[in-house]
Structure 1
Amino acid sequence: MKKLLVAFSLTLFISAGFAQEQKEKTETVTLTIDQAVEYALKNSRTLKSNDIDLEMKKRASNVSWNVFLPTVQATGTMSRANDFTPGTGDIIASAMSKLNNNEVPLPTDFDKEEDRWKTVGNVSVSWNFSLAYFGQIKAAKAAYEGQKITWEQSQKETITNVKKLFYALFLQQENLKIQKSTLENARRRMVQAEANFKSGLIPEISLLQTQVNYENTKPTVDSAEQTLNQQFDTFAFLIGLPVGTKIELSGSIEPTYIEADTDDLLAKYGDRDLSIKSLENNIKAIKIGLQALDLSTWTPAFVLSYGWQPVYIGDDGAFHFYKGLGKDDDWFDNGSLSLTLAWNVTNMLPWSSNRQQAKDYRQNLAKLEISLDMLKENQKVQVRKAVDTLNQAKQQIENMERSVQLAQKAYDMQLRSYQSGTTELLDLRDSENSLNQAKLGQLNQKYQYISALMDLENTLNVTLTGSGNSTVKN
């Protein structure tokens, strides 16, 4: 019975946890545009990956001086000789005995097993220096600067994408509302037509037309709603929310207008373009690499090395070297000090791989300079295009403001007629639908203006309005 109660309690606990998890998944998250941007900056997986890349480049730049660190190595070795090798002293003694007609043969074997073993310690310090190392340090610094530009680009692109999708979702929501309103009007017309047909007021063909219109409108509305849900999933993924989270957008689109002139913008902010800065940094990095390669080719490398190699040759045998630690006669130093200048002559030959690599550097440098010129020209095209879009969208917004006013006036008239009983409900709904369409058209032009302004600010890497490129009224 006790086990049954425990199992039942565990089942209730798991069920409660599952219910809570489902509740969390279906809970609606309300976001303003600023909250969405802030959430994306904190939770975007792409930005987190870029943070790691930036930290790696920063660390490499901070410790780039480590190319000057010496190489220090300590080893201890015990070795066993397979065969006896006479030493220099043995050879000299044998030769001298021959001169004295008292020939002493060279030793050919070990007296005991321990004689075959040798204990050797080794501590070595090596320090290399080349003028090319300075180029490697500069290259690490340039790589860090390039990664900072990439990180900033990613930040700005994420913010722009979040804002654009936020506004686009607003448009889709408003459009879906109008489509649903149109669908409801079509349904009401169909119901009214059925009643009129039964009363003999209209022919059957008129009834069929209203039914066809209603049935044709339903798939369009369902498709628009499905597309909107998919866009919300994309938005959730973009800002780092779990896919499937129900999101409610808070705010409305209101652009902040600016006076923009292409030539003035390019003159003031043309050199701030992050894409141009990134390419200029790449050019700088290639020049540094070419300089380092030339230095390694035409200047020698200096190597300073010192080794301390204690060898035990005491009478106690190699296995008892610790007994002779205090006896200077049992140990000798086989180490040395060396200073070396190394110069690779082969790398100086014009057809060597080193000189071919230098030619590749120069050709890649020429290609990047061409790309830089193209990028600057493309910048002019993009700025001019954005300015034209801003001016056109602003004009369209002003024109459509008059359309909204006329539609509003027509709706107000229909509403008064309906209230006085001289206009049917469906006529009022048609007038309301026309008003919504006019408002949606104006809203779409506002989105076009904001989108073009964001593109312009991204291209020039500048904020052209006092508090961002748009305001959201909550």
Structure 2
Amino acid sequence: MIIHLKKIAAGTCLMLAALHPVIHAQERVSEQSVTLTLEQAVEYAIEHSKTLKSSDIDLEMKKRASANSWNVFLPNMSLTGTMNRSTEYSPSSAAMNQLISSITHTEAASDFADEESRWAVVGGFTFGWTFTPAYIGQIMQSHANYELQKITWEQTRRDTIINIKKIYYGLLLQEQSLNIQRTTLENARKRAEQAEANYKNGLIPELSLLQTQVSYENQKPDLEQAERSYRQSLDMLAFLIGLPVGTNITLNGTIEPEYVKVDYDTLIEQYGYSSLDLQSLNENIHLTNLGLKTLTLATYFPALSLNYSWQPAYMGKAFSFAGDIGKDDMWYDSGSLSLTVAWNLTNMLPWSTNQQQAKDLKQVKKQLAMTRETLSENQKVQVRKAVDTLIESKAQIENMSRNISLAQRAYDATLKAYRSGTTELLDLRDAENSLNQAKLGLANQKFNYISALLDLENTLNTTLTRTDGNGDKK
């Protein structure tokens, strides 16, 4: 059990090392104190977790894309305006200039007419609308992507809740171990004081005094290291749930599991297909099928295009529209209306890009089907393992509860004998270690039971206890 506890502490240290640059990038400006129950920690994480907020943004983007996926049917419209001065010179333009000059009998007018002939103001309006049956497939894909993102969002939320719960219970286990170390150190201190008094009274030799003092001093560094590790773990909890790093957190909870009756066959029958991982794979398979349908529609069905354009042009005196608006010889316009049916025959060839993409999607569909089968079988393995762990842990908890009372009686008897001088310090330390082992073993088995139950609920995407992820009654 002690080894397992050390593994938990080592894992916590590794997580802290990975988060060290992020945690210490935030200044310890907050010295506020807060007492957290498990439910409060979960609720605070749901409200402030940056991971969940990022997932919310992803979900909102997919939702917006799904709600506006019909915009593929919107036409393309544009409005343009151009003022153009030509710098072209040709014999025809020179002749026109001479004609205007002879009529007006002024060279200046000739120059002015020549400048007028160089300017033009052109407007433009275009309208284009295209329809292809593949648009329908694209809309369906947008809706399916939104459904997939909802599953991903729920997975992120459940994973966050379970991780917070495991960390919280791990901290309670760490706290209980720390309390046992403090009690052990306090007992060692009292024995050292008693030994010193007995030595002064000539009741014990100096060797016995030195043994008790050495035992007491050797336990101090271990306790100080355990306290530092516990504070760092609390900082990590604050960071993960969104509290300012450095907040003085006091945990208000106990490692007391809520026992449930579990049966492998019943669980698989009731919840075997409710796993979020399976739902996600099913939605991915559905997306792949939609991709194949969309590609088929784009390959074997033509596209219909409707286009209209209108281009009015003014070729009169530059910047003087008002006086010439009614003169038809100053205005020109052109336009067109077209209806086109386009059929890309190249896409039907077996070597075309579309056909190769279709083959790839079919292969992906096979891979997803195999992954789903593998995941389904692995889920059965995980459920059976969790059920076995729950049954074994519950039995161990019952046995260890009885062992603690026996170990306590043995320690009390040894302590009484040690005080009367009929037993050695080593015997007392052995009895104390046995009692501590029993207490830590019981707490460790309770943690194992809770952890296995959380994993089982996550695997089956259900709640087997009386409370859900937020601490609310079912």
TM-score by length of 1: 0.81
**Structure-2 residue corresponding to 1:448:** 448
**Structure-1 residue corresponding to 2:70:** 65
Using the alignment, how far apart are the partners of 2:81 and 2:169 within structure 1? 70
Cα deviation per residue 1:250-296 (whole Å; 9 max; x = unaligned)? 12222221111112111111111001111111121122112212211
**Structure-2 residue corresponding to 1:209:** 211
Using the alignment, how far apart are the partners of 1:215 and 1:422 within structure 2? 24
Query: What residue identity is the alignment partner of 1:438?
Result: A
Q: Secondary structure at 1:213's aligned position in 2?
A: helix
Using the alignment, how far apart are the partners of 2:172 and 2:89 within structure 1? 91
Matched, 1:349 2:354: no
Matched, 1:170 2:175: no
Using the alignment, how far apart are the partners of 1:267 and 1:445 within structure 2? 28
Distance 1:37 1:86, change over 3 A: farther
Unaligned runs of 5+ in 2: 1-26, 96-110
Q: Secondary structure at 2:59's aligned position in 1?
A: helix
Using the alignment, how far apart are the partners of 1:29 and 1:180 within structure 2? 23
C-alpha contact 1:302 1:339 (8 A) present in aligned 2: yes
Task: Give runs of aligned pairs for residues 335-346 of structure 1, distance below 5 A.
Answer: 335-346=335-346
Distance 1:323 1:130, change over 3 A: farther
**Structure-2 residue corresponding to 1:44:** 49
Matched, 1:304 2:306: yes
**Structure-2 residue corresponding to 1:115:** 117
Q: Secondary structure at 2:319's aligned position in 1?
A: helix
> How far has the Cα of 1:451 moved from its partner?
1.1
Using the alignment, how far apart are the partners of 2:388 and 2:412 within structure 1? 36
Using the alignment, how far apart are the partners of 1:451 and 1:406 within structure 2? 27
User: What is the number of residues matched between the two proteins?
Assistant: 429
Distance 1:24 1:287, change over 3 A: same
**Structure-1 residue corresponding to 2:320:** 320
Task: Give runs of aligned pairs for residues 142-221 of structure 1, distance below 5 A.
Answer: 142-197=144-199, 201-221=203-223
Q: Please, which of 32, 37, 46 is the counterpart of residue 32 of structure 1?
A: 37
> How far has the Cα of 1:445 moved from its partner?
1.5
Query: What residue identity is the alignment partner of 1:467?
Result: T
Q: Secondary structure at 2:245's aligned position in 1?
A: coil
Using the alignment, how far apart are the partners of 1:66 and 1:466 within structure 2? 46
CA-atom RMSD in angstroms: 3.4
**Structure-1 residue corresponding to 2:404:** 404
> How far has the Cα of 1:355 moved from its partner?
2.0
Cα deviation per residue 1:154-174 (whole Å; 9 max; x = unaligned)? 111111111111111111111
Cα deviation per residue 1:228-258 (whole Å; 9 max; x = unaligned)? 1111011001110011111001122222211
Q: Secondary structure at 1:451's aligned position in 2?
A: helix
**Bigger shift: residues 257-266 or 453-462:** 257-266
Q: Secondary structure at 1:307's aligned position in 2?
A: strand
Q: Secondary structure at 2:351's aligned position in 1?
A: coil
TM-score by length of 2: 0.81
Query: What residue identity is the alignment partner of 1:173?
Result: E
C-alpha contact 2:39 2:470 (8 A) present in aligned 1: no
Distance 1:43 1:270, change over 3 A: same
Using the alignment, how far apart are the partners of 2:405 and 2:471 within structure 1? 23
C-alpha contact 2:141 2:290 (8 A) present in aligned 1: yes
> How far has the Cα of 1:331 moved from its partner?
2.4
Unaligned runs of 5+ in 1: 1-21, 91-108
**Structure-2 residue corresponding to 1:285:** 287
> How far has the Cα of 1:325 moved from its partner?
3.4
Using the alignment, how far apart are the partners of 1:184 and 1:468 within structure 2? 40
